[in-house]
Amino acid sequence: MAGFVEPIKAAFGAYMARFHAQLIADTPSMVEFSARKLSESVVWAPGRMIDQAEDMLSTWRKNDTSQQAQARTRLPVMIAAMSKDFMPAPTDYVRGLSDAFLPVTIPGDAKNRVFYMRGVVADIRTQVAIFAPEEGTARSLAMQLHLFASALPNRRFYSTYTLAGVPDKWPVVLELPDLNAVASPTDVKNLTIMTVDIQLRATVPMLVKPAPGSVYADGKGTGTDADPDGFLVVNEVDGAFWERAIGVGTPDTTFHIP
């Protein structure tokens, strides 16, 4: 399975795509921006958080593989980044499932296998930098991002993890939907930069499955990570055995195994 951040990044990318699709074009730059393809409007930073916004814009332009040369220089553009840190959510908010708990089946699993589940709620520090040719457009993008995140249906979205070959959705919540856009100083003329910090709180599942060839495996899978066996379960109980075990029908009702 891919690292736990990749499904969250994919889900946040889809979240930003929904944001881009509903923009209200209230400046000339916004008209052009909202008409652009998403891949030329909202992009991921190449590899690190946005510490130096102008350097990030320069790096994006150098790494842009668009066939349209014009896409390298035109603004506005929004660049997103996620930290590489791991931070568990505070225990006063939630306590992760550190121990494998109740047996579970995955909805949609045609083999109806039984696994154990562990999980953690992680805080994912995310940033979106807004680069615009003028202040009005930058403010509009920041304001509309805040309005989008504040709407009740957008307070959460879902990342998809593949568990035993079955896609399963898990929630990602915006810890604080009030998004502040902080202006970053720049000496470049006709460029306004704002950065928005977004704290994502993501539930990350971890499937506990039997080792290949284990005596506890049910043999329903192929033993691979993408198609593992489930755990053996009790499907039938010999009632006569339990009657003998607890002494039903005999003077001795003490629990014993014959």
pLDDT at residue 78 above 60? yes
pLDDT cut 90: percent of the chain above it? 53
Residue 35: band (very low, low, confident or very high) from pLDDT cuts 50, 70, 90: very high
Q: What number is the average pLDDT over the span 163-182?
A: 93
Q: What pLDDT, on a 0 to 100 scale, did the predictor assign at position 105? A: 92
**C-alpha distances out from residue 8 to 104, 160, 229, Å:** 23, 8, 27
Residue 79: band (very low, low, confident or very high) from pLDDT cuts 50, 70, 90: very high
- Average confidence score pLDDT of the chain: 83
Select the more confidently predicted residue: 1 or 104: 104
Distance CA 230, CA 133 (A): 56
Least confident window among 44-58, 75-89, 176-190: 44-58
Q: What pLDDT, on a 0 to 100 scale, did the predictor assign at position 180? A: 93
Residue 229 buriedness (CB in 10 A; 0-12 / 13-18 / 19+): buried
pLDDT tens profile 196-224 = 999 999 999 988 899 888 999 999 999 89
pLDDT tens profile 92-104 = 766 656 665 678 9
DSSP-based helix, strand, coil % in the chain, nearest 5: 25, 30, 45
pLDDT at residue 69 above 60? no
Distance CA 136, CA 36 (A): 19
pLDDT at residue 145 above 90? yes
Distance CA 16, CA 128 (A): 10
pLDDT cut 70: percent of the chain above it? 75
Q: Are 172 and 115 in contact (CB under 8 A)?
A: no
Q: What pLDDT, on a 0 to 100 scale, did the predictor assign at position 89? A: 84
3-state secondary structure labels for all residues of 49-65? CCCCHHHHHHHHHHHCC
Residue 123: band (very low, low, confident or very high) from pLDDT cuts 50, 70, 90: very high
Select the more confidently predicted residue: 87 or 92: 87
Distance CA 113, CA 223 (A): 12
